[in-house]
Amino acid sequence: MQLFLDTTDTAELKALAAGGLVDGVTTNPTLIAKSGRPMLEVIAEICAIVEGPVSAEVAAVQTEAMLAEGRRLAAVASNVVVKVPLTSEGLAAVQVFAQEGIATNVTLCFSAVQALMAAKAGATYISPFIGRLDDYGSDGVSLIHDIRTIYDNYGFDTEILSASIRTVEHVKAVAIAGSDCATLPPAVFKALFKHPLTEKGLEQFMSDWAKTGQSIL
């Protein structure tokens, strides 16, 4: 499963990407607002840090305006993926982007039939929002299972990009469900490396090793 960072914090992204395990980045209008920076500048900077797909979201809601914005965003760098909301107008834009060879990420997906429509439109990625569904009283992870089944039933190659991930448990659950990718806040990404028994075990090994007085090199 590919791991993306859901962030516009380029300093933190640079630090985490240096570890070699960040496959891509997602952004949204809220994260752009949080950065306090011009969108095109932030997206260009992120694309220079990460080779993989970088999702940049349109702000328009009408098809023609989404197409104009998406083409502008796609011109920023070859790894830009145009993020489009899951509306009928958005899916009309996705079909045109697909014909033009522009990769798309259909966002704000909360149901399996919405994911089916996005795949039929030719979306490159579908972003089901796990955490927000949980907050709503539904089961976000079961949506990933349902979409996996539907996409496999019909051979759709749209990739499932699990989004609105809040915990390490979410990451495990969507990986088991067969998600192709997951986008994580930096704090969750950092937590993936950690386990209290790893820290405890390492402390013990280091202390025992010191007692030997040896050196490997």
> Any residues with CB less than 8 A from the CB of 40 and at least 6 apart, and which?
72, 73, 76
**Strand-pair partners of 126:** 106, 160
Work out how close the CB of 15 gets to ligand E4P at its nearest, in angstroms, rounded to a whole number: 20
Q: Which is nearer to ligand E4P, 107 or 158 (CB)?
A: 107
How many angstroms separate the CA atoms of 173 and 181, rounded? 12
Question: What is the residue whose two structure tokens read 């192709």?
Answer: 180
Q: Which is nearer to ligand E4P, 120 or 166 (CB)?
A: 166
- CA 119 → CA 58, 63, 130, distances in Å? 19, 18, 18
**Strand-pair partners of 4:** 24, 183
**Strand-pair partners of 181:** 2, 161
Answer for the pair 27, 43: CB distance below 8 angstroms, yes or no: yes
User: Which is the catalytic residue, given 83, 172, 194, 200?
Assistant: 83
CB atoms within 10 A of CB 193: 10
Q: Which is nearer to ligand E4P, 89 or 134 (CB)?
A: 134
How many angstroms separate the CA atoms of 105 and 123, rounded? 6
Q: Which is nearer to ligand E4P, 63 or 183 (CB)?
A: 183
Taking the alpha carbons of 100, 101, 103, 106 in that order, is the dihedral positive or negative? positive
Binding site for ligand E4P (CB under 6 A): 6, 26, 28, 107, 127, 129, 131-132, 163-164, 183
> Does residue 120 have an active-site annotation?
no
Main-chain phi, psi angles of 174, to 5 degrees: -75, -30
Q: Which is nearer to ligand E4P, 128 or 217 (CB)?
A: 128
Active site residues: 83
